[in-house]
Chains A and B, each alone.
Chain A
Amino acid sequence: MEPEKKVATGENHLRLPFGLLGFERVKNYALLTRPHEEPFFWLQMLEDAKHAFLIVSPFIAVPDYEPEISQQDVDYLGLTSPADSLIYNIVTLRGSGPATINLKGPIVINRHTMIGKQVIPNNAATFSLHHPLPVS
């Protein structure tokens, strides 16, 4: 075992064939969690474990969040019903203010294939890029 080069397999290996916007060349991530950190999850770069993105279900912040995923993205991901999908959004931690969640660019995952894509929904203009997380 080489903890620093741990290769995720099976259920915790998430493939983003398009990468994240701005990180198009990074296509393989480990989806990680620590029980005490739920509902947050980590998307950790497989090739460079020093780098990770914090993600969370958007419904924590906006219970009625309804991104309209383009037909092209639905087809690409092979989604046949809403139950096929997982949706997570990227959290930005800010030292001098509340953390925010990006509602314009959700990461939509086919839970069966564990292939995902950061999509720009058709109604992205109605969502905030820096929506504050409800912190206590």
Chain B
Amino acid sequence: MLILSRKPGESIVIDGRIIVKIVRLEGDLVKLGIEAPVEIPVHRQEVYAEIQKNNQEAMTNTKASLPRLAVPAASAKGSKNKAAAASNPASPKPSVISEPKTPATRV
């Protein structure tokens, strides 16, 4: 690992397009400012790692059997939350999975 010494206000440049600036020190906290192109996601490592792990655990296939929800789907549509209205699952018109003609093999 490359280790560089920097003072508050100083920066490093990565690949000519990513700038990491030491904004200030607050006790044992280092405040970093990061300028990166929009196509380069920047995340706190521990949050990234736990979501990555969860995604890996969640990967399955469309033959998996699903839990039965206690809350009927209709009640979510009636939610007062404006974002809930925005995510009405009926709107994206997903395609319906056609059932295989041959019996599905469970793995």
Q: Which A residues have a C-beta under 8 Å from some C-beta of B?
A: 3, 8, 11-12, 14, 17-18, 20-23, 30-35, 37-42, 44, 50-54, 57-60, 63-66, 72, 75-76, 82-88, 90-93, 98-99, 102, 104-105, 109, 111, 114, 118, 120, 124-125, 129-130, 133-136
Contacts and interface: CB of A to CB of B under 8 A. Distances in A.
B53 interface: yes
B68 A84 contact: no
B106 interface: no
A60 B76 contact: yes
Closest 10 CB pairs of A and B: A22-B52, A12-B95, A59-B84, A39-B73, A105-B51, A31-B94, A136-B70, A134-B70, A92-B58, A11-B93
A60 B100 contact: no
Most buried by A among B48, B50, B100: B50
Interface size range on B against A: 35 or more
Q: Is the interface of A mostly helix, strand, loop or mixed?
A: mixed
A59 B69 contact: no
Contact of B96 (A32, A91, A125): A32
Nearest to B83: A82
B58 A91 contact: yes
A63 B72 CA distance: 13
